[in-house]
Amino acid sequence: MRISVTGCGYLGAVHASAMAKLGHDVIGIDVDEPKIASLAQGEPPFFEPELPELLTASIASGRLRFTTDPAAAAEATVHFVAVGTPQTSDGNAADLSYVDAAIDALLPHIGDGHVVVGKSTVPVGTAAKLAERIHETGARLVWNPEFLREGYAVRDTVEPDRLVYGVEPGDDASVAVLDEVYAHALELGTPRMVTDFATSELVKVAANAFLATKISFINAMAEIAEATGADVTQLADAIGHDSRIGRRFLNAGVGFGGGCLPKDIRAFTARAEELGRGEAVAFLKEVDGINLRRRKRVVDLATAELGGSVVGRKVAVLGVTFKPHSDDVRDSPALDVAVALKGLGAAVVAVDPKGVANARVRHPQLDYAEDATDALRGADLVILVTEWPEYVGLDPVATRELVAGATVIDGRNALDRDAWVGAGWRYRGMGRS
Ligand code: UGA
């Protein structure tokens, strides 16, 4: 298939590279010149495991090119739209300006027999509106939400756990086109569902809302555990054995962040309110509230552990990204904790294997260490906020030699508590005694 992909961020760059690997001819389009220049040289402008190799191989095959010229879309017949839909600056709703701009740029270059495939996460009702404009060209629209996780984006794209096509009634031709695009995944037995536009748009936000709710549920239990002396990790293990509940996404800690879960639950709430159904998802405000309280909990714990004031005390913050295996610091709980402690007067030194460059742009006022040893040396308090394997695997005995005060706050309940306590540390987990 001849494919264009408009929007070459985490989603689009991975999608374009993966589609080329699967044998399609792909042109990646983005308005961001430095990003396109970097991708064209086989260098992703962000960290994503396996992407550099995939990108290089796909470019070398001759099936993947990048450009800033929207007219290049005319070479293709299948047009993916993978631009971002961030939170608006003045409210909770999604900002659709990038989607609108992408469609505006595509319209002059599409026509009969072409299929536009929306991948961006959009408020329900968006596809129906866009379809009217796309039909005027003779092309068709499919809404095909994406469920990839950062850190596993390549695997999730090549071997997704499901495919959802939102189509207009009777549009079998577009279904057949997408089946050809996704032939590899379909051959592997990937479940594929054909729905209407609204269902496909909702599947995406419902999935993220469910995941966010699951995390906030266990973090709410952590709050109760903190008041009662119970252990939330044992609680999660015990309820997780019930296969109806399941153990995944039940890790209590500093909560969820990133470019997706937080903004998606807010946009969902805003859209439901517009539809006059705000009550139906009012609980998502509570999910958001529980989540944000966990960041404050870490800051409060740190203050208490330092005797009521953090002023002038050295705090080593391990991790700044919103999760490991990513350099993404958008809405990162780890970075929020570091910034809050700095604001309270602590001498914060943050460290991260991949996220420092991005964190420095947003928060130049923080001190960043070269490596964990540098951050830990002379620290009065250690806080683990992103569970990078290199931090989880720190030797508590050797680490104790470096610090001034042997207290660790495990913001992800990821450390081996017994080993740290055994090495003489005072250990404070989240929802654990
Ligand atoms: C999420 C979804 O998992 C993807 O399916 C979806 O495609 C993506 O958003 C998106 O909409 O683009 P992602 O943002 O990469 O993916 O991150 P997750 O792996 O879902 O983690 C989100 C946050 O939840 C992280 O901050 C993580 O540390 C936190 N988390 C996760 C917990 O606090 N506890 C858990 O048990 C699991």
152 CB within 6 A, ligand 1 = no
Closest ligand 1 atom number to CA of residue 249: 36
pLDDT (tens digit, 9 = 90+) per residue, 27-43?
Answer: 999 999 999 999 999 99
Confidence of residue 124 (pLDDT cuts 50, 70, 90): very high
Does residue 263 carry a pLDDT above 90? yes
Phi, psi values for residue 246, rounded to 5°: 80, 145
Ligand 1 pocket mutation, candidates 10, 144, 149, 245, criterion most atoms within 8 A of CB? 149
Indicate whether 84 and 189 sit together in one domain: yes
Same domain (yes/no): 93, 173: yes
CB of 145 sitting under 6 A from ligand 1:
no
Q: 14 and 73: one domain?
A: yes
CA of 390 to the centre of ligand 1 (A): 20
* CATH code for position 105: 3.40.50.720
Among residues 288, 305, 338, the one where a domain terminates is 288
Q: Give how far the C-alpha of residue 163 lies from the chain's centroid of Cα atoms, to the nearest Å.
A: 19
> Is the same domain home to 21 and 98?
yes
For ligand 1, the distance from its centroid to the CA atom of residue 406, given in whole angstroms, is 31
- Nearest of 400, 382, 433, 392 to residue 416 by alpha carbon: 392
Q: Which of 175, 195, 215 is the last residue of a domain?
A: 195
Residues 108, 221 within the same domain? no
Same domain, 14 and 150: yes
- In short, whether 247's Cβ falls inside 6 Å of ligand 1 is no
CB-CB neighbours of 132 under 10 Å: 9
Q: What is the pLDDT of residue 282?
A: 98
- The CA distance from 41 to 112, in Å, is 34
Q: How many domains does the chain have?
A: 3
Q: How far is the CA of 166 from the centre of ligand 1 (A)?
A: 23
Q: pLDDT, tens digit, for every residue of 174-225? A: 999 999 999 999 999 999 999 999 999 999 999 999 999 999 999 999 999 9
Per-residue pLDDT band at 333 (split at 50, 70, 90): very high
- For residue 149, the ligand 1 atom closest to its alpha carbon is 15
- Residues recognised as catalytic: 260
Ligand 1: atom nearest CA of 323 is: 28
* pLDDT of residue 114 exceeding 90: yes
Instruction: Examine residue 281 and state whether it is found in any structural domain, yes or no.
Output: yes
**Residue 157: CB within 6 Å of ligand 1?**
no
Averaged pLDDT for residues 129-154: 97
Question: What is the structure's pLDDT at 98?
Answer: 97
Distance 11 CA to ligand 1 centre (A): 14
**Ligand 1 atom having least distance to the Cα of 208:** 2
Question: From the CA of 433, how far away is ligand 1's center (Å)?
Answer: 26
Instruction: Judge whether 200 lies within some domain.
Output: no
313 with 255, same domain: the answer is: no
Task: Report whether 201 contacts 145 (CB < 8 A).
Answer: yes
pLDDT in tens, 364-404: 999 999 999 999 999 999 999 999 999 999 999 999 999 99
Claim to verify: residue 235 and residue 355 sit in the same structural domain: no
Is residue 348 domain-shared with residue 255, that is, in the same domain?
no
433: pLDDT strictly greater than 90: no
Whether 272 maps to a domain, the answer reads: yes
Contact in structure between 66 and 28 (CB atoms under 8 Å):
yes
Domain shared by 36 and 164, yes or no: yes
* Domain ranges, residue 329: 295-428
> Of 152, 177, 195, which closes a domain?
195
> pTM (2 decimals)?
0.97
How do residues 80-92 score in pLDDT, each as one tens digit? 999 999 999 999 9
How confident is the model over 291-310, as a mean pLDDT?
98
Q: Is residue 412 part of a domain?
A: yes
